[in-house]
């Protein structure tokens, strides 16, 4: 089960050309995209190879706005995971924000191999205005998507349930996910697998 980091793309002409199906991960900055991606891949490797390698693939950090390029990871030579730069990070310049936005939008609007968008929402904060915008955009473009509620380890049962309900009202029932406990890894893989079959 080889996982390869293929490219950190800053321009559309750097996107891979081998036409493998793609799953993209989007959400506001710091929501936990890179961590979720690592959790999916590590768990996946563990399942297949008995937990030999546990190296992080996607860079994570305390500093929001870390991922500035579109990062392509090729899984088992069969599909790509695509880590998009987070939106809504106010502390970078307007010029920089616009650059990210046009890169991410360019990807989402034109990417033929894109099969599924995983929209990440922080379970503690629920959907933000930008998340709603993203949902509208996905629906307008008939883009299949699912919702993951990240950092589920940070809330107790009662608060989790309330939050999941509010996310469900705005979007769809979310997959509660934690990169810390591994909650949701299997469930999200099932959603991804079935999106690739259709
Ligand atoms: N407790 C907990 N912390 C998490 C979880 N996922 C991510 N974090 C933390 O949240 C912070 C941001 O995580 P990243 O995965 O870098 O977030 P990102 O969405 O890729 O951020 P950008 O690339 O800046 O858009 C880091 O400090 C992570 O350790 C989780 O499931 N549980
Ligand atoms: Mg990131």
pLDDT confidence of 51, banded at 50, 70, 90? Answer: very low
Which ligand is nearest to the Cα of residue 122, counting in written order?
1
Establish whether residue 71 lines the binding site of ligand 1, counting it when its CB lies within 6 angstroms of any ligand atom: no
> What's the gap between Cα 194 and its chain centre?
17
For ligand 1, mutation pick of 8, 30, 62, 163 (most atoms within 8 Å of CB): 30
Establish whether residue 29 lines the binding site of ligand 1, counting it when its CB lies within 6 angstroms of any ligand atom: yes
User: For residue range 128-145, what is the model confidence (pLDDT) as tens digits?
Assistant: 888 998 899 899 989 999
Q: In ligand 1, which atom is closest to the CA atom of 64?
A: 24
Dihedral-angle region of residue 197 (phi above 0 means left; psi in -120 to 50 means alpha; beta otherwise):
alpha
Query: Which residue, judged by its Cα, is nearest atom 14 of ligand 1?
Result: 32
Assess whether pLDDT exceeds 50 at residue 52: no
Establish whether residue 182 lines the binding site of ligand 1, counting it when its CB lies within 6 angstroms of any ligand atom: no
CB atoms within 10 A of CB 81: 22
Higher pLDDT, residue 95 or 150: 150
pLDDT at 67: 62
| Dihedral of the alpha carbons of 25, 95, 138, 118, in degrees to the nearest 10 | 10
Q: CATH classification of 3-120+176-197 is 3.40.50.300, yes or no? A: yes
Percent with pLDDT over 70 in the chain: 84
pLDDT at 53: 46
Sign for the CA dihedral angle at 136, 98, 150, 23 comes to positive
Choice among 59-73, 123-137, 142-156, 162-176 with the minimum mean pLDDT: 59-73
User: For residue range 68-99, what is the model confidence (pLDDT) as tens digits?
Assistant: 789 999 999 999 999 998 877 656 677 777 77
Q: In ligand 1, which atom is closest to the CA atom of 67?
A: 23
Assess whether pLDDT exceeds 70 at residue 22: yes
Tell me how far the alpha carbon of residue 65 lies from the centroid of ligand 2, in angstroms: 7
pLDDT confidence of 182, banded at 50, 70, 90? Answer: very high
Which residues keep their CB under 5 angstroms from ion ligand 2? 33-34, 67
Cβ-contact 149, 121 below 8 angstroms? yes
Tell me how far the alpha carbon of residue 33 lies from the centroid of ligand 2, in angstroms: 5
Assess whether pLDDT exceeds 70 at residue 60: no
pLDDT at 153: 96
pLDDT confidence of 46, banded at 50, 70, 90? Answer: very low
Question: Do strands 114-122 and 145-150 pair parallel, antiparallel, or not at all (unpaired)?
Answer: parallel
Structural domain spans, the chain: 3-120+176-197
Assess whether pLDDT exceeds 70 at residue 32: yes
């Amino acid at each position: 089960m080889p996982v390869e980091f293929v490219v950190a793309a800053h321009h559309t002409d750097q996107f891979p050309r081998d036409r493998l199906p793609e799953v993209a991960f989007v959400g506001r900055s710091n929501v936990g995209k890179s961590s979720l991606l690592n959790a999916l891949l590590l768990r996946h490797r563990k399942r297949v190879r008995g937990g030999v390698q546990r190296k992080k693939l996607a860079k994570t950090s305390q500093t929001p706005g870390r991922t500035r390029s579109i990062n392509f990871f090729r899984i088992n030579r069969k599909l790509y995971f695509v880590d998009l730069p987070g939106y809504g990070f106010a502390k970078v310049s307007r010029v920089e924000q616009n650059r990210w936005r046009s890169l991410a939008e360019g990807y989402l609007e034109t990417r033929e191999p894109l099969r599924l968008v995983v929209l990440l929402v922080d379970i503690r904060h629920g959907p933000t205005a930008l998340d709603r915008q993203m949902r509208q955009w996905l629906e307008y473009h008939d883009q299949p998507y699912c919702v993951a509620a990240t950092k589920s380890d940070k809330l107790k049962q009662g608060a989790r349930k309330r939050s999941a309900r509010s996310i469900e009202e705005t979007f769809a029932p979310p997959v509660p996910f934690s990169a810390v406990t591994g909650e949701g890894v299997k469930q999200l893989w099932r959603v991804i697998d079935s999106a690739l079959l259709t």
